[in-house]
Structure 1
Amino acid sequence: METVAILLVITIIFIARSLKVVPQQNAWVVERLGKYHATLTPGLNLLVPFIDRVAYKHSLKEIPLDVPSQVCITKDNTQLTVDGILYFQVTDPMRASYGSSDYIIAITQLAQTTLRSVIGRMELDKTFEERDQINGSVVLSLDEAALNWGVKVLRYEIKDLTPPAEILRSMQAQITAEREKRALIAASEGRRQEQINIATGEREASIARSEGEKQADINKAQGEAAAITALAEASADAIRRIAAAIEAPGGAQAVQLQVAEKAIGAYANLAKSNNTMIVPGNMTEVSGLIATAMAVMKGTPKA
């Protein structure tokens, strides 16, 4: 019984050391007698007990790595405290196992030195404006070096850029001054536009008034011309009627009678205009007018 139990235990140990189940998105590196032999893929794998052993286990997932903050000096000799986060992925488990003693430390150190080098070529203002360029430069430098470590650097993101307190105060003062400047410029532009609008409105109103006055003068002139034309036409029509009446039989005698009556009436009105009795200097004219009127009346045929 003891022999059977021992054999059973040995069998279990052999099976446990022979069968390896690798999880999804993982890769295990196997050494045979201390030398690299194979990389186990996800699923069930068979090993030779006591000869093969799993030396390294790697996750093939994307891994975020926090890069510690450090002090960088810009081109214009300003100190910046910079920290960031790096994303990488193991693409070659064999190189990740033997290319570096610790690829995580290697990537972290290389990221810090590369970041110092990139920021050292920029002025302070550019470091805030060119974050994408900084991130791209760090990723490019890391990716070239990480190929030997079996690692693919996917991206790098700066989490924070912190200048000294004095620089922060001066930057805040500069921002405040710039905002005040923009506010003053906006106010002056508003006043300028207001004056332009007022002048434009006055000019358009003046033009409208002058156009109205011009149209009124034109209308008045056209009305007066129409009135004069109508009066002239009425006068001409009256004269034509009078001329026609004179040319008719008895017309001349009617005209003479009317003239005599108007002359006598005029002398009568002249005499009544004041207390002085006005007597014509030549009474023959008055008597002649009366005689003419009487002759016309006598010579008018009765109906």
Structure 2
Amino acid sequence: MITIVVLIAVVAAALALVGSSVRIVTQYERGIVFRFGRVLPETRGPGLALIAPVADRLEKVNMQIVTLPVPSQDGITRDNVTVRVDAVVYYRVVDPVRVAVDVQDYGSAILQVAQASLRSIIGKSELDDLLSNRERLNQGLELMIDNPAVGWGVHIDRVEIKDVVLPDSMKRSMSRQAEAERERRSRVITAEGELQASQKLAQAAEVMAEHPAALQLRLLQTVVEVAAEKNSTLVLPFPVELLRFLERSTPAEARSGDPATVPEPTPAMTRPETNGAGTAESSAPAKPIVPAATHAAVQP
């Protein structure tokens, strides 16, 4: 009976010893074995890992890419603007032995380095670079974090600046600046359009001066466009050729209207009124008789 109890105890101890010497390492992990406190150079891959009971201790290291958000950091840019910037860091372990031996908590260490590097990059950059040239700033921030992380067995895959928070006064100033810039572009485009339109109108005027019929066709086209709008009133343009005809048919003296060119009335041109004695009395002022040629010239 005593032998059976001793045998059961031995089997239980053996099972406990075997259970303590078997470890399971997943696919995304690597096992670091410490034997009596000294790390073994070879790491244990995914699957079952056998270690010596009591003598060995297995530590697992995650080899996946870790996403580390960096809290918002307040800083002053090189052009003296107070901003608040946050970022995100993507890193992964490339040397599990150095991660387990050289640094106590590599995640916290990378976070502290990222915060300090972010504040440094804010002070070295201008506001326009933070808003429009983030790709270059991301590369610079990645190099600043990766330099100390390489010695810890960690590789920085990517660093991204997520958001830049500006003061309200700076937002209003930037809005006014953007509005003024859009107004300037609008005026420049309008001026260029006016210049091109004036050039085209000058060319059209030259063509119409050489071919007067083109002006008539343009007038008829305008009449058609006005009638197409279903207006109740139709305005007909006065022919320009008729005005030119009247101008050519009117003598220069009548067009000028100079009273010096009109001949003064002579005594023969007046009609005197006589009384009964046969003498001429001027009961009314004499009316000058306009020559027929002058009267005909006034009426076209």
TM-score w.r.t. the length of structure 1 is 0.65
DSSP 3-state at the match of 1:39: coil
Conserved? CA contact 1:83–1:158, under 8 Å: yes
Is 2:59 aligned against 1:41?
no
Is 2:78 aligned against 1:78?
no
Conserved? CA contact 1:119–1:134, under 8 Å: no
Q: How far does residue 153 in structure 1 lie from its aligned partner after superposition? A: 0.5
Percent identity at matched positions? 35
Tell me the alpha carbon deviations over residues 236-294 of structure 1, each in whole angstroms, 9 at most, x when there is no partner: xxxxxxxxxxxxxxxxxxxxxxxxxxxxxxxxxxxxxxxxxxxxxxxxxxxxxxxxxxx
Is 2:56 aligned against 1:52?
yes
1:126 aligned to 124, 129, 132, which one?
Answer: 129
1:5 matched to which residue of 2? Answer: 8
1:100 matched to which residue of 2? Answer: 103
1:18 aligned to 17, 21, 45, which one?
Answer: 21
DSSP 3-state at the match of 2:151: helix
- AA partner of residue 46 (structure 2): P
DSSP 3-state at the match of 2:98: helix
1:140 matched to which residue of 2? Answer: 143
2:221 matched to which residue of 1? Answer: none
Choose between structure 1 and 2: higher helix proportion.
1
- AA partner of residue 128 (structure 1): L
DSSP 3-state at the match of 1:159: strand
1:152 aligned to 150, 155, 159, which one?
Answer: 155
2:196 matched to which residue of 1? Answer: 193
Runs of 4+ in 1 over 4 A off after TM superposition: 207-210
Conserved? CA contact 1:95–1:150, under 8 Å: yes
CA distance in 2, matches of 1:87, 1:134: 16
Change (3 A) 1:10 1:203: farther
Change (3 A) 1:193 1:30: same
Q: How far does residue 189 in structure 1 lie from its aligned partner after superposition? A: 2.0
- AA partner of residue 76 (structure 1): D
Q: How far does residue 105 in structure 1 lie from its aligned partner after superposition? A: 1.4
Q: How far does residue 208 in structure 1 lie from its aligned partner after superposition? A: 5.7
Conserved? CA contact 2:83–2:164, under 8 Å: yes
Conserved? CA contact 1:115–1:134, under 8 Å: no
Matching of residues 232-271 of structure 1 within 5 Å:
none
1:117 matched to which residue of 2? Answer: 120
CA distance in 1, matches of 2:47, 2:210: 92
2:168 matched to which residue of 1? Answer: 165
Cα RMSD for the two superposed structures: 2.0
Q: How far does residue 209 in structure 1 lie from its aligned partner after superposition? A: 6.1
Q: How far does residue 133 in structure 1 lie from its aligned partner after superposition? A: 1.2
Q: Which structure 1 segments of 5+ residues have no match?
A: 211-303
| Larger Cα-atom Rg | 1
TM-score w.r.t. the length of structure 2 is 0.65
